[in-house]
Amino acid sequence: MGSPSPCLLYTIRHRNSSSTGWCPRTTLPRSTPPGALPRSSRSKVRELVSELDLLFLVLKERDGTYFALVTCQSLKGTPPITFSLYSRSEFISTETVDERFATFSIPVVLDLHMGFLQCQAENGDRVVYGQWTAMHVVSVGGAVTMHYDADVGERPTMEKLRFYCSVERGTFPQYRWFLNGTVLEGRGDFYWVENQPKQSILLLSVGRSSAGTYHCDVSNSFDGTTVISSEERYIDKEVLNHLPTVVVAVVFGCFLFLVTLVTTCCFIGLLYRKRQCLVEKSTLDLKLGLEMHNIMVSDDEGFLGRPCIMVAEDDNAVDEEEYMEDEGMVRAARIIDSDQEEVESTDEWLQLQQELKKTLVDEIPEKSF
């Protein structure tokens, strides 16, 4: 017979737990394989509970009252485990189970904040505390919003849509999608419904079978008496690929604005150029008139410097020459007057006209004298 084997005592330590194993004192042959050990001699490992999670679900009684099923659960831990539920002011309940979770029932009043709850658990010398969770159940209410975005395929057409449905408030909303009054649930030939805590998503493949009027309804998951509907929206391939009226209006408005701007600039440019031409022409005519006047004045000075012969024929010749000079001055004045009508509104013409008048006034008395 073999010598007695000493008992093996060991401890396994993890980051959040520790385990201790033991075996009873027994006598076994040295050649006994490990798998042939009796069940009572095999090592037993006890794992402590890990961090706790608190979940709750609201249900409705037949008498119209509501209650919550509060679940405390641990991902790790060797049963049996003792779970306890506390509020900030009192102990609520405790239960020892052979599972890693325990469920407690407490009454609930909708739209009333009932404080905070905490789970505690132990399966050894150490107690694990969960986080405080608010116990506030809000009924669905407010506006229901439905919108969509699109995925464009290789061709410039919309091939897939994602509808989003959300409600303004509500702790446990339940969403339902409708196409032409028929409920869309789960997955179909051209759609797929994905429900999330805060919204519901309807994935849609655009085609002939998906054409129709869509909307979504929202209600409490624990009570279907309150139902809120979104606005209806008609969807088909032609409508989706048609340019919206707003886009067309914006594009046309921008084009019209550009045309008006270019036309205005061209019109202003033509007016400015015409005015410049009139000013240049008037200036040139005025210069010609002044030159003509200077020539006539110089001829008069030459005539006054000649000796005067008092003969009747000479007097007739002098009168004829003075008449010709007066006629030339009248023609020059007519030319200047015609130019004055074209550029009467310009400051340059007024200045030149004043200079011409001043010159004529100064020269006429000398000629008369």
CA–CA separation, 328 vs 298, rounded Å?
14
The fourth-level CATH superfamily of domain 52-136 is Immunoglobulins (2.60.40.10)
- Digits of tens for pLDDT over the chain (369 positions)? 444 444 333 333 433 444 444 444 444 444 445 444 454 444 457 788 988 999 999 999 999 999 999 999 999 999 999 999 999 999 999 999 999 999 999 999 999 999 999 999 999 888 999 999 999 999 999 999 999 887 755 454 557 889 999 999 999 999 999 999 999 999 998 999 999 988 999 999 888 888 899 999 999 999 888 899 999 999 887 655 544 566 667 877 888 888 888 888 888 888 777 777 777 777 777 777 777 767 766 655 554 555 444 444 444 444 555 545 555 555 555 555 555 555 455 566 666 667 766 766 565 554 444
Q: Model's pTM, two decimal places? A: 0.53
Phi-psi region of 86 (alpha: psi -120 to 50; beta: other; left: phi over 0): beta
Task: Yes or no: say if 46 and 123 are a contact pair by the CB < 8 Å rule.
Answer: yes
Return the CATH number of the domain spanning residue range 142-241: 2.60.40.10
Task: Yes or no: say if 128 and 74 are a contact pair by the CB < 8 Å rule.
Answer: yes
Distance of CA 243 to the CA centre of its chain: 20
Backbone angles phi, psi at 243, to 5 degrees: -65, 135
